[in-house]
Structure 1
């Protein structure tokens, strides 16, 4: 007997939704390349029924909450400078940035703020050149913070923040990390890399 196939229902349809995926579809999902799955998801979200995008992001948030892990040690994110070599990003930084982007992209902005705060704090005590890989990645992180803040604001506007106290703690932790970074960079005469983040945080109240 073939497995039941999931179909989209009208919003007023009170019949229970089937909790299974068609066996052949599940086989395809298990074996498709990440590139194919991305393309299919984008096409489905762009052309599917009106309710599919909210359902997709809701499922994404549920999954990300389930798989959210403790933050790794900040010491593995950057190579510390030596007398001859400036600080530089390490591969683990990419993994953590991917995690932050998944969170704020799915609408979990406040969870992503905690991740980004740990990255910003890991830069305190480091030294880098104004031009180079380190300066480039810090500029990218600054842009990520701005997007995470926007995601957090949308999370509030959408009434999806369950714990307002924790949300404020996440905001304040990022604000402290950015402030500590500014003070540290000023102490050695570097160019502060999180200017956009600092401006966005300064007037953000809720």
Structure 2
């Protein structure tokens, strides 16, 4: 008998938690053995051919899983950026891994949780310098876009009634503003180009 799995048809809306059920043995065998690209294609096809409510059920199950695995926790922020022989910063595999988790969080509707991680990413740029062009430029462009997407996800999270304590949301936005403002001041002090313009503009026009 297969191990209990989260049944996507048994999400309690009021709790956002799945009821444990059993997945068909053959389906479970497919899930265990299919490669990631095949699973992505299967999930997309299933959601596209299902009623709109299925996407909500899927997202609720995703949020539950991400919260269980503490996906918004960064154990060490000191290894998000490395140092090249010339002393300039470069992205690390750990940073790329963290950004993948960030996208999973805000994609599932956990915008506030993703902002917590992104604050740490912005703060980790402190004390570092980089070339305006090249790999770091592309990395910062991605992070800037991620912050904007996370803010949009946070709006939807609040509008959807999934943030019972708005004071926590305000505090997280305050921390993000401070991190971005500190980054801007530091980058300007050494003549660099501020990398989070889009995020700063989005924050400027959003009052909670």
* TM-score, normalised by the number of residues in structure 2: 0.88
Q: Moved runs in structure 1, 4+ residues, more than 4 A?
A: 6-9
- Work out which of the residue numbers 128, 131, 134 in structure 2 matches 1:126: 128
- Work out which of the residue numbers 172, 175, 179 in structure 1 matches 2:174: 172
List gaps (5 residues or longer) in structure 2. 11-18
Give the superposition deviation at 1:32: 0.9
Contact 1:100 1:116 in 2 (8 A): yes
- Work out which of the residue numbers 189, 192, 206 in structure 2 matches 1:204: 206
Q: How does 1:1-206 map to 2 (within 5 A)?
A: 19-69=21-71, 70-80=73-83, 84-206=86-208
Query: Greater Rg, structure 1 or structure 2?
Result: 1
Contact 1:61 1:108 in 2 (8 A): yes
* Cα distance in structure 2, aligned partners of 1:18 and 1:75: 39
Question: Per residue, is there more strand in 1 or in 2?
Answer: 2
Give the superposition deviation at 1:41: 0.5
Q: Judging changes above 3 Å, is the alpha-carbon distance between structure 1 residues 20 and 78 closer, same or farther for their aligned structure 2 residues?
A: same
List gaps (5 residues or longer) in structure 1. 10-16
Contact 2:2 2:23 in 1 (8 A): no
Contact 2:2 2:22 in 1 (8 A): no
* Cα distance in structure 2, aligned partners of 1:134 and 1:123: 11
Alignment length, in residue pairs?
Answer: 196
* TM-score, normalised by the number of residues in structure 1: 0.88
Pairwise CA RMSD of aligned residues? 2.2
